Amino acid sequence: MLPGKDGYAICRELRQAGVRTPILMLTAKALEAEKVLGLELGADDYLTKPFGALELRARVKALLRRAAPETADVYAFGDVEVDFTRGEVRRAGAVLDTTPLEWKLLTTFVRRRGRLMTRERLMDEVWRPDSAPTDRVIDNHVMNLRRKIEPDPLQPRYLTSVRGMGYRFDG
């Protein structure tokens, strides 16, 4: 029901071209046969109107989670190792004492390395939905993490600030 071409044709063309980006069809077509057709043509999910914003957000997050590249069991940068299997962070072979929040923050940065992480995105990915940390709280947790993983926390090499926007992990 798009102008010029329908969503089924677009989905088919994207998949035939080798595009692996997750596709979520948002449509008024609610018959079971229409849903099955969309999924068989390559859509990863199918949501019919009307839908709630919370459901849409949850489905997008689920698609992105499934589409995320697999992370190695151990990721190393500098003299730091993040062991996803054991849930440990080691520096120069010694296990660091990290809080659950620091662990979640570090693994989020590692999995999204090279990408800008705004404070809002960190709130969504690291903190519980019922909490609302201030920017200062997030900054304090990032600084605590820097103290543990950076050779010089005052001149960060791996976990850098992007002025006015957030943080980026370049490990």
* Long-range contacts (CB closer than 8 Å, 24 or more residues apart) made by 134-143: 141/101, 141/102, 141/105, 142/105, 142/167
User: pLDDT tens, position by position, for the chain (171 residues)?
Assistant: 678 889 999 999 999 988 888 999 999 999 999 999 999 999 999 999 999 999 999 999 889 888 876 656 899 999 999 999 899 999 999 999 999 999 999 999 999 999 999 999 999 889 887 788 888 999 999 999 999 999 999 999 999 999 999 999 998
Domains for the chain: give ranges and CATH numbers: 7-67 (3.40.50.2300), 74-169 (1.10.10.10)
